[in-house]
Amino acid sequence: MAYLIKKPARTLSEQVYAVEAAKGLGITFRRLFTNVFGKAEDKKIATIQYPDESRDYPERFRGVHRLTHRVDGSPRCVACLCCSTACPAQCIHIEPAEYGEGDPRHGYERFPRLFVIDELRCIFCGFCVEACPCDAIRMDTGTHVPASWSREHFIFDKETLMSIPGRDGTYVTDNPRHEPGDPTHPGIDRDHHH
Ligand code: SF4
Ligand code: SF4
């Protein structure tokens, strides 16, 4: 049912807008002087002196990609193309290759001969990380792609992607799949490989 809301009555000083405007300006100037000249603990300023100061990115911030390593320094990636298939921006290019004779992984799995991400085209959705069955690609670097004057600087190749550590400074990740060549895989002589 409709009902009437009573309009609040204004006092004379509120009717004369100049008084209220002056009060508002008083708050503005009080904040301004506190923030510029006041003690640090009284300041309520939201800006920071970037780039001298910067804010910490949140824990789950999706930063620039990295390719994780195995203990022997080779890429954990098995060039399955799941990430490039899942990528909505189609900015991942992979060329798979086979491990050679004598490598315990020979005949079992592939590695990326080329692995390129166009970081300028990427929309940082994280689908590639979700799609990867090997924990081979991560966005836990805690940093964004550096600004540059050239588009070429945003084309990150395999070597670049493998040179970026995670936030904790590590490159190696555990193998979630226990594939041949991993010490957790039964029946593989690791001494042969090392
Ligand atoms: S974050 Fe998204 S857009 Fe960027 S490479 Fe991964 S899947 Fe593609
Ligand atoms: S990064 Fe992961 S999903 Fe992408 S090709 Fe390599 S193993 Fe497959």
Identify the CATH number of the domain in which residue 123 sits: 3.30.70.3270
The 10s digit of each residue's pLDDT in 127-164 is 999 999 999 999 999 999 999 999 999 999 999 999 99
Q: Domain total for the chain?
A: 2
The 10s digit of each residue's pLDDT in 110-130 is 999 999 999 999 999 999 999
| 92 and 172 both lie in a single domain | yes
- Cβ of 145 closer than 6 Å to ligand 1, yes or no, is no
- Cβ of 124 closer than 6 Å to ligand 1, yes or no, is yes
Which ligand gives the minimal distance to the CA of 77?
Answer: 2
The Å distance, Cα 74 to ligand 1 centre, comes to 22
**Which ligand 1 atom is at minimum distance from the Cα of 123?**
3
Q: Tokens representing 18?
A: 């100049």
Q: Inform me whether the pLDDT recorded for 188 exceeds 50.
A: no
Q: Tokens representing 149?
A: 């004057």
| 96 and 140 both lie in a single domain | yes
5: in domain: no
End-of-domain residue from the set 5, 22, 55: 55
7: in domain: no
Element (H, E) at 181: none
Percent of the chain surpassing pLDDT 70: 91
Q: What residues are paired with 67 via a beta bridge?
A: 137
Q: Three-class SS string for 103-169? A: CCCCCCCEEEEEEEEECCCCCCCCHHHHHCCCCCEECCCCCCCCCCCCHHHHEECHHHHHCCCCCCC
> Could you give the CA distance from residue 57 to residue 88 in angstroms, rounded to a whole number?
25
**Which ligand 2 atom is at minimum distance from the Cα of 94?**
5
Claim: this prediction has a pTM higher than 0.85: no
| 183 and 113 both lie in a single domain | yes
| 162 and 76 both lie in a single domain | yes
The 10s digit of each residue's pLDDT in 128-138 is 999 999 999 99
**102 and 67 in contact (C-beta within 8 Å)?**
no
The Å distance, Cα 32 to ligand 2 centre, comes to 53
**138 and 66 in contact (C-beta within 8 Å)?**
yes
* 107 to 76, 80, 111, 173: CA distances (angstroms): 16, 14, 11, 23
Closest CA to 67 of 179, 164, 144: 164
- Cβ of 131 closer than 6 Å to ligand 2, yes or no, is yes
What is the domain extent for residue 34? 13-55
